[in-house]
Structure 1
């Protein structure tokens, strides 16, 4: 069989049902789309509020971009841990990146509400 990367994911266990491994890949792609959407929203917020001259909007925009970066950074390790679990028959790992998204959305939403109340 051809060598696949990363080897530590594929070096033990058996080949899982393709439906499960493809579902895991779709989950990775969805997480990356979500991360990209957060980063794009942060850039859009910065552009839309740049003319106000209020620094709070820049901080909110940066925070939204950071949430996107954290989500992107968490996506691949989660895919790898899930793929490894599928191959070895272990339980799937917890969805820890969901916590990042929930906290990020709540903090960004509160910041926008406060910013709108101040403006």
Structure 2
């Protein structure tokens, strides 16, 4: 099966599109739906980058946290950033496959996990600040 773009005379074989497990199933969805799904994935990427930036900021010696607290908070933020990136990729994949096969969209469990992890890290930072003052 091939995919032909209206402004391209040649068709692109579907098997060349990657990842194959996403693009190799079902029918092509509406381009605006697929692009909206991609924008959502990019929002997850931005969130991950913001969490890494937060990890760098928390590791600053200018903060009045102990070295151990700064390192633990930084490591926690980097780990949550990795989880957020994985959740975003997984959600993009599941949503794209659902659109291609006519299935239901995925739930928001991954987002709740990331939100909970960030909340726990913030509570840890607050507790560390209160203990050291």
- Structure having greater relative contact order (Cα 8 Å, sep ≥ 6): 1
Change (3 A) 1:52 1:95: closer
1:108 is aligned to 2:121: yes
Q: How does 1:55-70 map to 2 (within 5 A)?
A: 55-70=68-83
Larger fraction in helix: 1
- Displacement of 1:51: 7.7
Residue 33 of structure 1 is matched in structure 2 by: 46
Candidates 73, 80, 84, aligned match of 2:86: 73
Gaps of 5+ in 1: none
- Displacement of 1:52: 5.4
Q: Which runs of 4+ in 1 moved over 3 A?
A: 48-54
Task: After superposing the two structures, state which structure 1 stretch, 52-61 or 26-35, moved more.
Answer: 52-61
Gaps of 5+ in 2: 3-11
TM-score of the superposed pair, with normalisation by structure 1: 0.90
TM-score of the superposed pair, with normalisation by structure 2: 0.81
Change (3 A) 1:89 1:44: same
Larger fraction in strand: 2
Q: How does 1:38-57 map to 2 (within 5 A)?
A: 38-48=51-61, 53-57=66-70
> Residues 49-92 of structure 1, C-alpha deviation per residue, up to 9 Å, x if partnerless?
57854312211121111111111122112111110100010001
